[in-house]
Chain A
Amino acid sequence: MFTLGVIGVLTRRNAIIVFMCIELMLNSVNLTLVAFSAFHGNPTGQIFVFFVMAVAAAEAAVGLAIIIAMFRNKMTVNVDEINIMKW
């Protein structure tokens, strides 16, 4: 599931989909943490997941805001056409 997310991030061109793939990666990590936590009987992992979810929520808000801002500027959400990340 994590690998799927990575491949999605690298290959898809629609920013929304890239963004969803990032969520996918985060959730795959969450899932892994919860699974191992239950398996080992150690609650630390589950607590950590809450933090990750909180951060993911914040990140989702920021990310969506960025995408909207970019769309307003460029009238596109296609990441290939956005190359302002350079100095």
Chain B
Amino acid sequence: MHNLAGYIVLLPFIGFLINGIFGKKINSEKLSGIIGSGSVGISFVIAAAIFFEMLRLPVEERSHIVTIFNWITAGSFSINAAYQVDQLSILMTLIVTGVGFLIHVYSIGYMHGDKAFWRFFAYLNLFIFMMLNLILASNFLLMFLGWEGVGLCSYLLIGFWHDKKFDTGGYKPGEATTSDAAKKAFIVNRIGDFGFLIAMFLIFKLFGSLTFEDVFSRASAITTSGDKTMFWITLLLFLGATGKSAQIPLFVWLPDAMAGPTPVSALIHAATMVTAGVYMVARCSILYALAPATMEIVAITGITTALLAATMGLVQNDIKKVLAYSTISQLGYMFLALGVGSFAAGIFHVMTHAFFKALLFLGAGAVIHAMHGEQDIQKMGGLKSKMPTTYRTFFIAALAIAGIPPLSGFFSKDEILWKAFSQGSIVFWILGWITAGLTAFYMFRLFILTFEGKERGEKHPHEAPKVMTVPLIILAVLSVVGGFAGIPYALGGGNAIEQFLKPVFENADLQLSIAPHEGLSAEYLLMILSVVAAGFGIYFARKMYLQKPGLISKISEPFGRIHKVLWNKYYIDEVYEYSVVKPIKTGSEKILWKGFDVNIIDGMVNGSAKLISFTSSWLRKIQGGMVQSYALAFVVGIIVILGILILR
């Protein structure tokens, strides 16, 4: 079965080609939608088949490399376009194609009536193709292809409505369009990609190969204790991950990325692409295990991002922005897990997060759809009775992300917090615990303002069509049961997902010498505490936004300044604007444009033109059309020749 891995990747690409080239000619929403969703759906079926076959096989036979063709050969350097099918990649493939398929189906309803319907599906298919390349790649170069490809698709899809006005909340007030947001995402991502690229060069220099097999098997042998190379490789790879997965310092693009259509936000900026960084770090787990300093940086970055993003999410009024900050925050959790060496917990959270975050975004999309494009939650409210299905599924997702048992978010988040405590330090746990409380609070603030209370808008919302609600229901079911894949030992489960992924992370675990489970009572205590935190968050949200609306202003008054700082997202955009963007702009304008370009480049081009026109103004006089001047030239010439002949 694993031989079919190539088709998983190929099918979305075919979908992209058909929709991209013939989409306009087909000009049928139904057909474009079927091609787009169908190709991803079949990929999912193949991936599922491979997955179930893998479950039957003994552990040693589960990892395969499927070579498609020889891609690049230059001297001793040779790269195959080959896909690695193992536990980690097949799990990610299932998430990407499964959630991707549901979102494709949902998009048929959401994008109904759009003038570039086919283009949307072509981009979505291309995205899935690139994402699968990233996940299934068996070497760094192919991974990089996917890495760049998803960045490109993200750019194309954020700016899908490229002439739509967009409130950046900072730069270019009043005149920014979604293409500005797209550019921001692309450029910030490129900074991270640059780190990835350099890391790739270093890997090639150190190992002489870019395939995962070679690099990972020789990593521990090649590294000596004083060697800084591994530190730099992992740090630069992590820089790439911060770009793609929106961590500090490169997270600024993700909130703006919400300018794209909502299914895009769900698919790319919540469920799949942003987890690429987590996947990459998990894939390179052995390299990270060899560089403890980087691991610490990863963990600290993760928890800081989680906390900061959660506080920013507290005050946002745009339904999608709240979700964007919560995504950043949850990604921070994943990196915390990776940083403390619990790769399986990180991937587990990737999976559950994909379910409930996609559900939240699609639910938000249904709300926006119903409210005719209104995104401000202050202008919503009372949607409970109008949109019962969306209400229920959204409620499940909010409970899941808040970490209420037995929904999926509880298991994965708790696993991370427990690992942060047992393998990291108590500080990580405290910060993570606070974040969990904040998460519950802002999610229920969002939920209550949107669905409960009185109706505040004048729009007349209606429930979304079936093609949109069915994916919501499926995702809701997954959000409920997804966590059962990883019931911890403490609760009598087998932590199936950790067992399943164990062979992939075996070497890293060995390197980090992680002890098996212990301290059950502590784990129980932590679990109870995190549920209490979530409960408090929900309670306060209810209190403040539902029962006593007057309370908000009373509380927020003394905290006016903090509120302002949070509202302005800690002024990070502004800091970047003045410290990075402005100097580069001024430097480019004053020195590179007006100095170098105008004087030297243009000077050379214009100079050569001037030289020619100068000489030609002289040469032109020779050919004046006057017969006599020609004759004069004859005579002079003859005299000169005769003179030479005679005088010689």
Check A84–B632 contact: CB distance below 8 A: no
Q: Which of B595-629 contact A (CB under 8 A)?
A: 623-628
Q: Is A73 an interface residue (CB 8 A)?
A: no
Q: How far is the CA of A87 from the CA of B630 in the complex (A)?
A: 13
Q: How far is the CA of A87 from the CA of B623 in the complex (A)?
A: 8
Residue from A6, A85, A87 in contact with B627 in the complex, judged by beta carbons closer than 8 Å: A85
Check A9–B623 contact: CB distance below 8 A: no
- By beta carbon, the residue of chain B nearest A10 is B632
Check B624–A10 contact: CB distance below 8 A: no
Q: How far is the CA of A84 from the CA of B624 in the complex (A)?
A: 9
Residue from B625, B628, B631, B635 in contact with A86 in the complex, judged by beta carbons closer than 8 Å: B625
Q: How far is the CA of A86 from the CA of B622 in the complex (A)?
A: 10
* Cβ distance B333 to chain A, nearest Cβ, rounded Å: 79
Check B626–A10 contact: CB distance below 8 A: no
Check B635–A79 contact: CB distance below 8 A: no
Residue from B624, B631, B632, B635 in contact with A83 in the complex, judged by beta carbons closer than 8 Å: B624
- By beta carbon, the residue of chain B nearest A83 is B625
Chain B residues with CB below 8 A from A87, complex form: 623
Q: How far is the CA of A41 from the CA of B416 in the complex (A)?
A: 126
- By beta carbon, the residue of chain B nearest A7 is B635
Q: How far is the CA of A18 from the CA of B632 in the complex (A)?
A: 13
* Cβ distance A62 to chain B, nearest Cβ, rounded Å: 15
Q: Which of A1-24 contact B (CB under 8 A)?
A: 6, 9-10, 18
Check B623–A79 contact: CB distance below 8 A: no
Chain B residues with CB below 8 A from A85, complex form: 625-627, 630
The size class of the interface chain A forms with chain B is: 10 to 19
Check A9–B628 contact: CB distance below 8 A: yes
- By beta carbon, the residue of chain A nearest B620 is A86
Check A82–B627 contact: CB distance below 8 A: yes
- By beta carbon, the residue of chain B nearest A12 is B628
Whether A79 touches B628, Cβ cut-off 8 Å, given contacts A6-B635, A10-B635, is yes
Check B623–A80 contact: CB distance below 8 A: no
Contact with A along B174-199 (1 / 0, CB 8 A): 00000000000000000000000000
* Cβ distance A5 to chain B, nearest Cβ, rounded Å: 11
Check B626–A80 contact: CB distance below 8 A: yes
- By beta carbon, the residue of chain A nearest B635 is A6
Contact with B along A23-61 (1 / 0, CB 8 A): 000000000000000000000000000000000000000
- By beta carbon, the residue of chain B nearest A81 is B626
Contact with A along B278-294 (1 / 0, CB 8 A): 00000000000000000
- By beta carbon, the residue of chain B nearest A22 is B631
Check B627–A86 contact: CB distance below 8 A: no
- By beta carbon, the residue of chain A nearest B639 is A6
Chain B residues with CB below 8 A from A83, complex form: 624-626
Check B628–A10 contact: CB distance below 8 A: yes
- By beta carbon, the residue of chain B nearest A84 is B625
Q: How far is the CA of A9 from the CA of B630 in the complex (A)?
A: 11
* Cβ distance A45 to chain B, nearest Cβ, rounded Å: 21
Chain A residues with CB below 8 A from B632, complex form: 10
Chain A residues with CB below 8 A from B630, complex form: 85
* Cβ distance B558 to chain A, nearest Cβ, rounded Å: 89
Q: How far is the CA of A86 from the CA of B626 in the complex (A)?
A: 8
Check A9–B624 contact: CB distance below 8 A: no
- By beta carbon, the residue of chain B nearest A86 is B625
* Cβ distance B509 to chain A, nearest Cβ, rounded Å: 85
Residue from A18, A79, A86 in contact with B624 in the complex, judged by beta carbons closer than 8 Å: A86
Check B627–A79 contact: CB distance below 8 A: yes
Chain A residues with CB below 8 A from B626, complex form: 79-80, 82-83, 85
Q: How far is the CA of A65 from the CA of B635 in the complex (A)?
A: 25
* Cβ distance B150 to chain A, nearest Cβ, rounded Å: 60
Contact with B along A62-87 (1 / 0, CB 8 A): 00000000000000000110111111
Q: How far is the CA of A5 from the CA of B626 in the complex (A)?
A: 18
Q: How far is the CA of A80 from the CA of B632 in the complex (A)?
A: 14
Q: How far is the CA of A85 from the CA of B630 in the complex (A)?
A: 9
Q: How far is the CA of A79 from the CA of B624 in the complex (A)?
A: 12
Check A10–B631 contact: CB distance below 8 A: yes
* Cβ distance A15 to chain B, nearest Cβ, rounded Å: 9
Q: How far is the CA of A84 from the CA of B627 in the complex (A)?
A: 9
Chain A residues with CB below 8 A from B625, complex form: 82-86
* Cβ distance B637 to chain A, nearest Cβ, rounded Å: 13
* Cβ distance B21 to chain A, nearest Cβ, rounded Å: 50
* Cβ distance A4 to chain B, nearest Cβ, rounded Å: 13
* Cβ distance B621 to chain A, nearest Cβ, rounded Å: 11
Q: How far is the CA of A86 from the CA of B621 in the complex (A)?
A: 11
* Cβ distance A22 to chain B, nearest Cβ, rounded Å: 10
Q: Which of B181-238 contact A (CB under 8 A)?
A: none
Chain A residues with CB below 8 A from B627, complex form: 79, 82, 85
* Selected A-B contacts with CB under 8 Å, 14 pairs: A6-B635, A9-B628, A9-B631, A10-B628, A10-B631, A18-B628, A79-B626, A79-B628, A82-B626, A82-B627, A83-B626, A84-B625, A86-B623, A87-B623
Q: Which residues of A contact B (CB under 8 A)?
A: 6, 9-10, 18, 79-80, 82-87
Q: Which residues of B contact A (CB under 8 A)?
A: 623-628, 630-632, 635
Closest 6 pairs between A and B when the two form their complex, measured CB to CB: A83-B625, A86-B625, A85-B625, A86-B623, A83-B626, A10-B632
User: Assuming A85-B626, A86-B624, what are 15 further A-B pairs, CB within 8 angstroms?
Assistant: A9-B628, A10-B628, A10-B631, A18-B628, A79-B627, A80-B628, A82-B626, A82-B627, A83-B624, A83-B625, A83-B626, A84-B625, A85-B625, A85-B627, A87-B623
